[in-house]
Amino acid sequence: MAGKPILHYFNGRGRMESIRWLLAAAGVEFEEKLFETHEEFEKLIQGGTLMYEQVPMVEIDGMNLVETRAILRYIAAKYGLIDMYVEGLRDLSDMIMYFPLSLPEEKEMNLEYILQRATMRFFPVYEKALRDHGQDFLVGSQLSWADIQLLEVILMAEECKPSVLLGFPLLQEFKVRISCIPTINKFLQPGSQRKPPLDEESIRKVKNIFKFERGIFLKNMSTIVAEY
């Protein structure tokens, strides 16, 4: 019998959070090896299992998987979760993920941009998909990777603005419906392996672990804004 997947990352959301969501929704228990210092991260690199010397890394089925999208696709295929609509969700997810790293003078502008893109470009697509499909899920008649990631992104967007779904009644119903699925509801409870948003202390720890400056993160945000 295969052991539980083991997730290697720092103690925060980042790119590992979507992997946690997917495993949790599939009802798969997993372990986490969370590093708190740069030395612990270097030890993982020196161990020779970390391809490209970057995380996230997931130990699963005798493999050490890296590259977030490859990991997500492997898990989705393994547990029969479809991946339609996912790429668009990744764009919005990245915008929100990098938002806490905004410079103070750019924070209001970045928040306005994120909310504008969410409500004018992204959420209308998924509202229409639910209306056209006429089912409980985005595609097919069962839970998919897209459903899981859409709920994750909705909840992230609501952390930016609680009323962000105003004007999207089908997405509001979708959020409640998918949140009630037992495996997902369990993951949403306090004390689960779901991680909170980045705060200043978390940002300080991440910078210490990976030894980079805040500007590197902000360059990612600037790239996303420029592309969209």
Which stretches of the chain score pLDDT less than 70? 1-2, 84, 212-228
Residue 217: the pLDDT is 47
pTM greater than 0.85: yes
Virtual torsion, Cα 59, 65, 66, 69, nearest 10 deg = -120
The per-residue pLDDT for 224 is: 39
- Specify the pLDDT at position 212: 60
Please check whether residue 13 is in contact with residue 97, taking contact to mean a CB–CB distance below 8 angstroms.
yes
pLDDT of residue 50: 83
